[in-house]
Amino acid sequence: MIRILAYGLLVCFASSCNAAEATAAKDAQALADRLTGNDKQAASNNPQCKLFTPAEVAEYIGSSVVSGKNAVSGLGCQWVAQAGSGDVIVAVVPEEYFEVPSLAIGFKELAEIGTNAFVVPELGGWAAGALNGKEGVRVSVAGSKASEASAIALLKEALKRHRS
């Protein structure tokens, strides 16, 4: 009798643990979907994912990338290197969310590119951004070919394509 009761308690405990794990996994996926923007739209409908092809993006970091995925709560697109490490992110945010990291080490203003334009080293790569009317365009590059120059080149091209 005690064994049956103990076994019953064990089964109930295991079942509730499995249910808790399933709920936690579901909650984690829902959070991931909100953070990337997958809860709002497919990457194929994301305007930033349409700005560049994977082949074009690869030129900025020196390695092949997978198709763009939603990022930055759907305001951006991220292309990740197929092998090794590296990625490219292009994001367009409302002006009030655009930040200029002027206190970061290595920060440079790029007045010749546009309003509040900058480039800065970031997390082993480079980030660049500028205001474009009432929106801010921000790009980042990381990978074997990523450099200050490639971040600036990507920003210029993103601004040109976003304005079109």
The domain limits of the chain are: 1-36, 43-163
71, β-bridge pairs: 76
At position 37, the amino acid (one-letter code) is G
pLDDT of residue 163: 74
Q: Is the distance from CB of 75 to CB of 48 less than 8 angstroms?
A: yes
pLDDT of residue 87: 95
At position 93, the amino acid (one-letter code) is V
pLDDT of residue 9: 38
Helix H or strand E segment including 70: strand 69-71
Predicted structure pTM score: 0.76
Residue numbers in the chain where pLDDT is lower than 70? 1-43, 164
Q: In what order do the strands lie in the sheet with 108-109?
A: 69-71, 76-80, 87-94, 135-142, 125-132, 118-122, 108-109
Residue 98 CB burial class (10 angstroms; 0-12, 13-18, ≥19): buried
